[in-house]
Structures are given as C-alpha cells and as structure tokens.
Structure 1
Amino acid sequence: MLATGTEEPRNVHPSATRRRLEIKMTLSSKVANTVYIEFVRLLYTARWPIAVVGAAILMVGLAVGRQTGDLVAPAIGIIGMLVTVGRLALCVAFDRTVQRRPLDLASAKVWERRLAIGVIATGVCVGGFAVRCFLLPDLTAHMVAGGLVFGYCAGTTTRFSIRPWIVKASLGVSVIPAVSAALWNFDLMHAAQALLFLIFFFGGFELIVYIHDTTREQLTLRAEAAHLARADVLTKLPNRLRLAEHFEETAARLRRHKEGFAVIGVDLDFFKEANDRFGHATGDELLRMVATRLTGLLREHDLAARIGGDEFVVIQADVSDRRDVERLCRRIVETLSAPYAIDGHSITLGASLGTAIAPDDGTSLDDLLAKADAALYAVKRNRSGRTSGAAAARDAAPLAPDVPDGAEPTRGAPQPLQFHA
C-alpha cells in the first residue's frame, strides 16, 4: 500500500533533501506573498479616514484664508480635497478590479504603488499647508497648522503602518517642511513646537514597526492555517478543496472573458511496483519529486493538485485550442518519465493522461473530471491502440520490478501514450 507520508525515508539521497528544502522555501514564499497581497487589500479598506483628512485640509484651508485674507492656504485646501477625491476613486477602481480577477503578486505591487502616490501626495499637501501657515503673521494659523500636522501623522501612522515605507515617506513630506517653517520664526515657542514635531515623528517609528510586525504575524498565522487546510500533507500540492476553489476562479474567467481551460488527469504508471520494491519511504519521495516536476511546468494561473495515491489533476488556464493542451501533455509525459535518482537508485516511471476542455466538454468540475478520467482509463485499457482524435506521445518504459539487486534498471521499448485531446 502507499505510505501515508508519516514515515521518513532512510539514507535519502542529498538531492532529495535539497528538494525538501526547496519545497519548504516555496511554501514560505507562498505564505509571504499571500500576506503581502492581504496587506495591499487592507490598505484599500481605509475609505473613511481618507475622506476625513481631505475634508480637514479643505476646511482649515478655507478657514485660514477667511481669517487672514491669504489665497494660498485655501488653494492648498482645494488641492488636498482633489487628491482625496482621486484616492477615493482609486479605491472604487480597486474594488471593481478585484471583483473581476483576484489579486496576484504582480498586480498587488502595482496597486500598492498607486496608493502610495495618493498617500504621499496628501502628506505633501499637509506639509505645504503647514509651511504657508507658519509664514503668515497670524498666530491662530500657526496653531491650526500644528493641529493638522499632528492629526494627520497620528491617523496615517495608525492606518497605514502595515506598509512602513509608505507611512514613513508620507510623514517625512509632511513633518520635515513643518519643522523647517516653524524654526523659520526663530522664537522659543516655535522652536518648542518644531521639537514636538520631531519627537512625534521619530517616536512614531516604533509604533509603525510594532503595528506592522503584529499585523504580519497575525496574517502569517492565518495564511499558514489556510494553506495547510488546502494542501496535501505529503507533496504540499493543493488538495481537493483548493482544486475546487481554483476551478471556480478559472471558471469565472471563462464566464467573464471567454478564457477556455483544460482539466488534465495524470496517473503514474508502475508506481505501485516501485513503491513495493523500494519501500514506502522511497514511494513518498517519488511522489514529492513528481509534484516538484509538475509545478515546474505550470504558469501562474495553472494549478497541479494531488487527489489521492498516485493520481494528480492539472488545470491549464487560458486554453485557446486543443493544441495548447497537447503541448502541455507532451511536456508532462516527458518530464515525469525522466529517471528519478533516490538513495542510489535510478527509477523510471510512466504516465497516463486524460483531458477534458471547457466549455466544449463541460463547465462543472465534476463533469470535466469524469470525462478526463474516462479518457485516462481508456488509455490504460488500450495502451498500444489509437483512438479517434487521440494524440500520441512516447512513454519511457517503467521500472522493471524483477531487476536483480545492484543492476541498473533498463528502459524497454517505448510505448505509445494516448491522451484525450
């Protein structure tokens, strides 16, 4: 029987150890990417604070203009409000985009930069308003400027510390000009005010780090738990739950953008013989190596899942015609049929594939899996024949179970492999 994954192989080849480390690093990277994407999503939930800051800049700008007769302060207030409207429009655009397609790492980086531009632009408005107020002779304008700077720094630190570089840049463009303008007045009270600005500016760094680290720890724990619930324990590939979720995401792209996709069933040939001959620990390592090879063939929106034993499923996204599926199937066969070096043994397996393409063969996961399974088992029943519409690929001969100890396993005559296409 196939091992459950709890037994560790003895005297495992060093390359197998390296592969395990690579799998762990890949898992860590996936969790880190998930956390980062969640950080970006959280940034775009700050709608009310954005509106409050914009209204505050406009209000104090108009108030200072009315009190002093100055035209620059109201102009800065109006600019600040326009920046706020732009930031709120960006949030709406973000919502519409993620409704159509979930965030990935590349798009999350783009959206983070867009949001950073808005946050820093607001900081520039706050700093510019403070400079203008401190250059006016009216001391009430100085007081209003100080209140706006402190309020903006407190709110920005609390809300955007999950991305430290954004909040530090925003605080810098707001506080440093305010400090310079306060010192320009060159008296004791303004020097004290400038000192308070600096104390809160540098003191806020510790709070920024604390909020960021605490949030990251919580999100990492949540992401790890979610990943474990959706991952096969042995191979770390997605399990049936994640397969179903990914299928729904891919099916949604089919409905919205008419992007076809394929479901490919993969079954390892002669895995049981290798597992029986060399032991369950070696069988486990074989499955891990197969998983690594499969994932190395896939693009960003493709997915390979282990659904049990030596059975795998691949979802190939963005399929324009059946030739796309045939090309990937040939690559899978060639890759999985290459020898596996484990603990001094060279083991060769084969692979049988069956495919179903949406929407021609169905649009539900159950229908497509059933058709892919039917095509796969038809291949197994008729290895040497050819079926109508089937494409042929060459499959290396598997491990021969009766090879004498110490002898190199041989590769027999190539056999045709059919897959439904």
Structure 2
Amino acid sequence: MPAGAETDDVYAALVAELARIALPTTIMAITLAAVGLFIAQVLGHAFLFAAVAVGLLASACKLALIVLQMRRLARGPLARKEARRWEWGQILTTIGVASSVGALVGTVFAQPRMDLQMLATGLLFGYCSGVVTHLSVRPFIAAGALLLAALPAIVSAAWGGGMSHGILATMFSLFLVGALQSVLSAHRTAIRQIRLRLDMAALARSDALTGLANRLGLRGAFDGLSATGNDSVAIHCFDLDGFKPVNDRFGHAAGDALLQELGARLRLLLAAPALAARIGGDEFVVLQPGVRHVEEAETLARRIVHALGAPYQLGTQTVTVGLSLGFACAPSASADLDDLLREADAASYAVKRRGGGVAAGGLGGAREQERRAGTMRV
C-alpha cells in the first residue's frame, strides 16, 4: 500500500484528529476578535466589522462542532460515511475563519498604516502556523485555509507599491509555499503514525498464529454488537479431538500448520459480523450475531463441523481431527458474553462425554425461553 494511502479506518482516524483542536480554535477566535475589532475600529470600515463577525461566528460553530464530535468519538470510532459528514462541518467552518482572516489582512495591506500591518502580519502568521500544525491531517482543508488567508495579503502587498511591499509580498509567497510543503509532510507523517497505531491495536486483538481474533478481540466484537431488536446472539465453543497426536507424531510445526489452515477455513466460512476467535491452544469460539431462531445457530454449528472436520493436507501427510462443539444463544439485548461462554463450553464438554450428536435444550426456570444451548460432535 502506498505510504500516503488512506484506508477507511485511517481516514476515520484522521478526521477524528480534527476534533482535538479546541484550544487553538479558541485562541484564534480571541486573537481574531481583539486584532480584528481594533483594526476595524481604527479604519472605520463596516466591511471589516462584517468580516470579523463572520470569523467569530465560524469559530463558534467550529467549537460547537468539536464538542459534538468529541462526544460522538467517546462512543467509538467513526464509519467512513459518518466521518465524511464531520469533515464537511470542519471544511465549512474553516472556510469561514480563513476567509475572515484573508479579508482582514488583505484590506490592511492596502492601507499605509505600518502599525496595523504589523498586527495583521502577526494575525496571519499565527493563523497559518496553527493551520499547518493542527489541520495538516486533512491536507486539502489546510491548503485551502492557507490560500484563503494568505493570498489576499500577498496580492494587496504586491499592488501596494514600493520596494518594501514587493519584498513583503515575495516573502509571504515563499512562506506560503513552505507552509504547503509542511502540510504535505505532516500529513504523510500522520498517516504513518495512525497506521502504526491501528496495526498495534489490531495485533493486540488478534491471534498471531491463525490471524483470528483473540480473547480481547472477541470481547471487543461482542461489546460492539447492537443491543436493539428482537434477535439473539449465539456463541459456539469447540476444541479439536486428536490434535495432540498430530503434534506428537508430526511435530509442532505440523500442528501450527493445521491451526493456520483451520483459521483460514473459518474465515471463508463466516461472513461479517460473525467472527471467529482462538482463545487457547486448540480452543476456538465463533460469535454469531443476528440469530432469529435457534435453528440458525444449529445450522452454522453443522457447517463449522463439516468444514473443519474435512481432512487437512500437511506436507505429504493427510490428517483428520474431530470437533466437540457446543453453542448457546441469548437475546442480544440481555446477552452476557461470560454466561454464553460458560454455557457453550459446558455443552461442548457434555457432548464429549456422550460421544456425539446434536442437541438443543432450555436451561429451565425463568430463563428457559430466553436461552438455549446445543451440542455437536464429529
């Protein structure tokens, strides 16, 4: 993948970074109000008062947007479509602030007042440095803000006449080019850092050998399920019968190869949001959300047994292992992962003792209609 490529999760993480600029946004709003209103009062231009008002309104909207986005991020990461909507909010508010700064400094550099030009220069450089530092995660937003803020000053200074104004316009132009280059560099660095962070998080939730989820990944997937609706969630637990003899006869490398092939079969068998996890040496769990009838869980259990019970080709050797599988279901709105794991695990051990078959039965009492467990062995 190219170094600057943005996958959906990287893009969402970059947009999330736009919500972490409350302090610089507040500082810029205060500075714009102080400098802008002073310049507008000195020059007596109604246009400048309007420009400052637009900038302050856009700043207030940006701060409100940041607060709302931070609240949303507290509930979990953004999907790409949702991230795009938040990004548009940042685009529009940034346009408002940058246009205000550009109108203000552009007007000032058309005036002969050097003291006002010094204030405008400070305002412009402060804003542009903030853009480079905090908006570079979305380079087209940062580049647009830099151009809107700086180009009016460059044009106004160039047309202002005199050698000093020409030098100033040239300096502003060179600084603008440097700022745009810094934006691109900062964006590439941000992508590398975010991708590394996401990769580390994914590794923490994954089993290194099979590529399936681990206990942490299983917990995260379960906790992320929607608790609404009338459907149920099923947990399937199974381990491998005859796995130890494979290790003893062919070596641990063959056992690892078998587990890797088993993981690959599970990934082909399951479709999101179903998820498979390896929670021990030869112990596996399958999370099956969206179950409308317990028969759907039993059907998936049969498919798992059929797919994983087929022979495995390990080099020149063909081996077969058996499965002892138990499953448990509960309504999504009240399901508890630990309870489901205990019930499914108990069902898998029960079927080991019985020697095979498939069964589903209630747990009795008030929970009889809410929860069913099944067992399967091959």
TM range (shorter): 0.7 to 0.9
* 2:35 is equivalent to residue 60 of structure 1: yes
The 3 A distance-change label for structure 1 pair 316 and 194 is farther
Are 2:280 and 1:308 aligned? yes
Deviations 1:397-416 (A, max 9, x none): xxxxxxxxxxxxxxxxxxxx
Answering whether residue 236 of structure 2 is matched by residue 264 of structure 1, we say yes
Q: Distance in 1 between matches of 2:63 and 2:319?
A: 59
Stretches of structure 2 lacking an aligned partner (at least 5 in a row): 363-373
Counterpart CA distance in 1 for 2:48 and 2:276 is: 59
Q: Distance in 2 between matches of 1:106 and 1:74?
A: 37
**What does 1:271-350 correspond to in 2, within 5 Å?**
271-272=243-244, 274-276=246-248, 278-298=250-270, 301-322=273-294, 325-326=297-298, 328-329=300-301, 331-337=303-309, 340-343=312-315, 349=321
The whole-number CA distance in structure 2 between the counterparts of 1:374 and 1:342 is 31
Counterpart position of 2:16? 41
Q: Which one of 158, 177, 181 corresponds to residue 183 of structure 1?
A: 158
Greater RCO, 1 or 2 (C-alpha within 8 Å, sep 6+): 1
2:98 pairs with 1:123? yes
Percentage identity across paired residues of the two chains? 39
Q: Distance in 2 between matches of 1:168 and 1:126?
A: 15
CA deviations over 1:179-204 (Å, ceiling 9, x no partner):
22322324322222222222222223
What's the counterpart of residue 16 of structure 1?
Answer: none
Conserved 8 A contact 1:72-1:132 = no
Number of residues of Structure 1 aligned to a counterpart in Structure 2: 363
* Matched-pair contact (CA < 8 Å) for 1:150–1:197: no
SS of 1:44's equivalent? Answer: coil
SS at match of 2:132: helix
Match of 2:74 among 89, 99, 122: 99
Q: For 1:208 and 1:87, how far apart are their aligned partners in 2?
A: 21
Unaligned runs of 5+ in 1: 1-24, 391-416
Per-residue deviation, 1:103: 3.4
Alignment match, 2:345: 373
How far the C-alpha of 1:306 sits from its partner, in A, is 0.6
Q: Give the counterpart letter for 1:200 in structure 2.
A: F
Question: 1:80: Cα distance to partner?
Answer: 1.4
Partner letter of residue 359 of structure 2? T
Cα distance in 1, alignment partners of residues 161 and 289 from structure 2 = 66
Structure 1 distance, partners of 2:250, 2:70, is 53
Does residue 156 (structure 1) correspond to residue 131 (structure 2)? The answer is: yes
Deviations 1:202-242 (A, max 9, x none): 22345445544555555555555544444323223332233
TM-score by length of 2: 0.77
> 2: distance between equivalents of 1:91 and 1:168?
20
Q: Normalization by structure 1: what TM-score?
A: 0.71
Residue 271 to residue 108, structure 1, CA distance change in 2 (3 Å): farther
Q: CA deviation at 1:118?
A: 3.2
Structure-2 change in CA distance of 1:290 and 1:360 (3 Å) = same
Deviation of 1:301 (Å): 4.7
Letter matched to residue 286 of structure 1: L
Distance 1:346 1:166 in 2: 58
- The structure-2 alpha-carbon separation of the partners of 1:360 and 1:89, relative to structure 1 and needing over 3 Å to count, comes to closer
The alpha-carbon distance between structure 1 residues 94 and 297, as it changes in their structure 2 partners (threshold 3 A), is farther
Write out aligned runs for 1:228-267 (5 A): 228-250=203-225, 253-254=226-227, 260-267=232-239
Counterpart-to-counterpart distance in 2, 1:360 and 1:228: 27
**Higher alpha-carbon deviation: 160-169 or 342-351:** 342-351
1:89 matched residue in structure 2: 64
User: Could you say what secondary structure the match of 1:308 adopts?
Assistant: coil
1:319-342, CA deviations, whole angstroms, 9 ceiling, x for partnerless residues? 455455455445544543555454
RMSD: 3.8
Partner AA of 1:306 in structure 2:
R
Bigger shift: residues 316-325 or 236-245: 316-325
Following the alignment from structure 1 to structure 2, what is the Cα–Cα distance between the partners of residues 120 and 297?
A: 48
